[in-house]
Structure formats: C-alpha cells, structure tokens
C-alpha cells in the first residue's frame, strides 16, 4: 500500500465489512431452493417458473455486468457497493412480499441487477485496500464468508423450522432481513472509506479494468477452453445446486426438506475451508491446468453417481464438494497466467458475461425438462432428462478442461506469478 493508504488494521476492518455484506447477498441468492417445493405446493408454480426465479437473476447480467465494471471505475467501489446493496435489498423485499409470480420474478430480476455488480464492487474494494500484499488471501477469505451465507440458506429449513412450517413467505422474509444486514454492512464500509479518504487527503490506488472489445483478438486458444469450462461447469453447479437439487433429493431420493437442505449445504461448507487450501497447494506445486482438469472431471462422475447408482448421496455430495472447492481456486489464477495483466480485466469480464448467460439458460432448460417429463414426488423418473442434461453439460466442461491441460503446455501454465 502507498504512504497515504490506511493502516493494515483499517484494511482488515474493511475486509470484515465486505465479507459480512457478501454473506447476506449469497444467502438471498440461494433462498429460492429451500422453498421451491413449497412454491409448487402452495402457489402452484411449475418447475419452469421456479427455474425462472433463479434464471432471471442471471439474464440482465449478460450485459449489465460490463456496465457495472464501468460504474465501479467511474464512481468508486464504495459508492457502487452501497447503491447495489440497496437494489438487492429492494429486490429481496419485492420477492418476499409479492402476491403473484410476476411480482416475485420482478423482485429476483431487481436483485440480479444489483448483485453481480455488487460482487465486482466488493472485489474492487479489497483490491484497493490491499494493494501490495495479501489481496488474494483477503479476497479468498471474503468469498469464503460469502459462501457461508449459501450454507446458511441451505441449512435454514433446520435452523428456522418454525418459519418454514408457516409456508413459503416467512423464509423469504428472513432472506430479506439478510439483505438488509448486507446493506448495513455496505453503508458502514462506505462511511469508513470516506473517513479514511478524508484523513489520508489523497486517493488510494484504483484498480480499474475497462472492457475493450478489440482485446479479444489477443486471447489464445487456451483462454477460450477456460471460458468454455467456466460456462459449462458453473451452469451445472449453480442451476442444480441452487435451484433443483433440494427438490431432487426430496422427490428422487426420499429425503425430507431439512435433510435435503443439509445435504446440499455441505457442498458450500466444504468450499469455505477447502478453496483456500487448494489454492495454496496449486501455488506450491506451480501447476494449475492439471488440478483444474481433475476438479472438472469430478463433476460428471458425481452426477452419474447420483443419477445412475444406489450409492449414498454422501459420495456424490463429497465429489461435488471437492470439485466446487478446487475449480474456483484454480480457474481465476490460471486465467491471470493465460492473458497479460493489461487484459486481465477484459478476460474476467467476458467470462462473467458468458457464465451468467449459461446459468440462466441451464435453469430454464432444466425447469422445462422437468415440466415436460412430469417430474414430481409421484414421478421421480421425471427427473432423468434433467440429470442427463446436467451430465452431458458437465462432460463437455470436463473435455474443455482436459483439452486445456493437453494443449496449453507448461509455458502457459507456468508464466510469471498471477497478476494482483
């Protein structure tokens, strides 16, 4: 950090506030899965409608995430964090209070408009306060706390059983309260940022990474394989885990709601601790593509184990947990090695755009397949087309990862240390 930067204690306090804000944001994102069955039983929603509640989160970000990066560069991380946290809070409230599907969908759309740009702003804040050291650790720690929000959302049927017993709405009101807490954390961070800026009497280093279309011409083949893996892997993980897995566990494997939510939650709980550990291991080994390929291959193995065998769900959950911990720990450092530091922001921006398009599409396709096949507790075989779809997509992602490993070569895997 430069001479005018705040103390290390202040930087870690900012990290804590950002992490708290991320916790609430992640909780709201994953709040649909635990109430999916109740929305069908009590409100008559189809699986396609349930899938749309999460797909509509991603749809605006196919374009708006590029705008979000420009806003962060133009107005600063602190302001944009507050603005987007407020939008997320309003979106969560509209989702919980709406009397019909259209209102809930509008709420999720509003939440999605704020949430991804919120994510960019929080990472930019950490990059600003940890210039010169520990930025990767700070980001990893904040994201791990965010994942605890996802774990908490999955565990909410157990922790807030009384609320779930009252129907679909009380759990979503709890999610709204979490969004309010996230907004409060963002306000505290912005207040602290203003005080630090006033005391320093000088701006801290900015981390702007504008999106430039012509930079795409300079990306090599290895980057495009990485982008394909990013789209396919995240589409399967998030569409299944965040939207349909709890219903699938209930209807196809006979778990009750609390047990299904707990089973699903362990994927994120494992990632909270394992992701930093895997990142440390890859840094020590100096190799990224082989670890990435291994993590990607585990996902189709887990889907096949879950759908085609009578093996315990703990086996497939463990495999998904390892994959979910390993792939993100490797993907972003590898991206920084496959493109130059000057184009790193463009590369990540494009990956996030494509990722959101893939997640939205996967949610819609999976919901349509379930409705078409009549998937339900009375017809668990109706989930087979959805699982086949997820299986084929995860296989395609694994092929992209293996091709990346085989074609990138040691030179691309072992460039200079990742850009910070």
pLDDT, tens only, 331-366: 766 776 777 655 655 666 678 788 878 988 898 899
CA–CA dist 265, 34 (Å, integer): 11
Amino acid 281: pLDDT: 73
Q: Which two tokens stand for residue 274?
A: 């394992």
Contact 398, 297 (CB under 8 A): yes
CA–CA dist 298, 318 (Å, integer): 10
| Cβ-proximal residues to 281 (8 Å cutoff; 6+ apart), any chain | 291
Q: Which two tokens stand for residue 106?
A: 């509008």
Domain residue ranges of the chain, discontinuous segments joined by +: 1-208, 210-420
Q: Which CATH number fits domain 210-420: 1.25.10.10, 3.30.870.10, 3.40.50.720, 1.20.1250.20?
A: 1.20.1250.20
Contact 115, 88 (CB under 8 A): yes
Distances (CA, A) of 403 to 224, 293, 396: 11, 9, 11
Residues 362-400: b if buried by 16+ CB within 10 A, e if exposed: bbbbbbbbbbebebbeeeeebbebbbebbbebbbbbbbb
Q: Which two tokens stand for residue 314?
A: 């703990």
Amino acid 365: pLDDT: 92
Contact 383, 370 (CB under 8 A): yes
Nearest to 22 by CA among 182, 188, 241: 182
Question: Using only C-alpha atoms, what is the Rg of the chain?
Answer: 21
Amino acid 125: pLDDT: 80
The domain made up of 1-208 is a member of CATH 1.20.1250.20: yes
Contact 325, 271 (CB under 8 A): yes
Amino acid 267: pLDDT: 73
Low-confidence spans in the chain with pLDDT less than 50 = 1-4, 202-209, 411-420
The one-character DSSP state at 241 is I
Do the first three CATH levels of 1-208 and 210-420 match, i.e. the same topology?
A: yes
Cβ burial, residue 85 (10 Å; 0-12/13-18/19+):
buried
CA–CA dist 412, 394 (Å, integer): 24
CA–CA dist 389, 270 (Å, integer): 26
111 in the Ramachandran plot: left (φ > 0), alpha (ψ -120 to 50) or beta?
A: alpha
Amino acid 95: pLDDT: 92
Nearest to 230 by CA among 351, 326, 340, 337: 351
Amino acid 385: pLDDT: 94
Nearest to 373 by CA among 364, 365, 362, 385: 385
State the chain's maximal CA–CA distance in angstroms.
66
Amino acid 300: pLDDT: 95
| Cβ-proximal residues to 99 (8 Å cutoff; 6+ apart), any chain | none
Give the DSSP H/E element, type plus range, for residue 78.
helix 77-97
CA–CA dist 227, 12 (Å, integer): 32
Q: Which two tokens stand for residue 35?
A: 């109430």
Nearest to 344 by CA among 69, 23, 97, 1: 69
């Amino acid at each position: 950090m430069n001479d005018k930067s705040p103390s290390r204690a202040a930087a870690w306090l900012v990290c804590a506030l950002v992490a708290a804000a991320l916790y609430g944001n992640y909780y709201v994102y994953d709040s649909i899965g635990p109430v999916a069955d109740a929305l069908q039983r009590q409100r008559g929603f189809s699986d396609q409608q349930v899938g749309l509640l999460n797909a509509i989160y991603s749809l605006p970000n196919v374009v708006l995430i590029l705008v979000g990066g420009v806003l962060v560069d133009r107005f600063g991380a602190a302001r944009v964090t507050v603005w987007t946290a407020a939008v997320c809070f309003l979106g969560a409230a509209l989702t919980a209070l709406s009397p019909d599907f259209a209102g809930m969908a509008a709420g999720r759309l509003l939440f999605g408009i704020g949430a991804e740009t919120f994510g960019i702003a929080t990472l930019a804040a950490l990059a600003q306060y940890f210039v010169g050291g520990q930025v990767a650790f700070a980001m990893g720690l904040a994201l791990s706390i965010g994942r605890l929000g996802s774990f908490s959302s999955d565990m909410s049927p157990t922790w807030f059983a009384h609320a779930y017993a009252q129907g679909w709405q009380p759990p979503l009101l709890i999610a709204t309260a979490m969004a309010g807490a996230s907004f409060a954390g963002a306000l505290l961070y912005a207040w602290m940022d203003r005080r630090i800026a006033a005391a320093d009497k000088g701006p801290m280093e900015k981390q702007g990474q504008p999106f430039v279309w012509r930079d795409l011409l300079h990306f090599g083949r290895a980057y495009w394989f990485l982008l394909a893996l990013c789209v396919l892997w995240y589409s399967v993980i998030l569409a299944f885990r965040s939207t349909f897995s709890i219903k699938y566990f209930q209807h196809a494997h006979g778990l009750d709601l609390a047990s299904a939510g707990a089973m699903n939650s362990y994927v994120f709980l494992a990632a909270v601790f394992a992701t930093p550990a895997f990142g440390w291991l890859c840094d020590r080994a100096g190799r990224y593509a082989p670890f990435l390929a291994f993590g990607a291959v585990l996902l189709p193995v887990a889907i096949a184990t879950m759908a085609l065998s009578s093996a315990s769900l703990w086996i497939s959950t463990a495999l998904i947990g390892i994959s979910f911990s390993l792939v993100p720990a490797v993907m972003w450092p590898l991206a920084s090695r496959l493109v130059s530091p000057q184009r790193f922001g463009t590369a990540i921006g494009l990956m996030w755009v494509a990722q959101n398009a893939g997640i939205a599409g996967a949610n819609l396709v999976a919901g349509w397949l379930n409705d078409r096949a009549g998937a339900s507790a009375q017809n668990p075989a109706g989930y087979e087309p959805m699982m086949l779809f997820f299986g084929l997509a995860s296989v395609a992602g694994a092929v992209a990862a293996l091709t990346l490993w085989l074609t990138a070569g040691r030179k691309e895997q072992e460039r200079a240390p990742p850009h910070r």
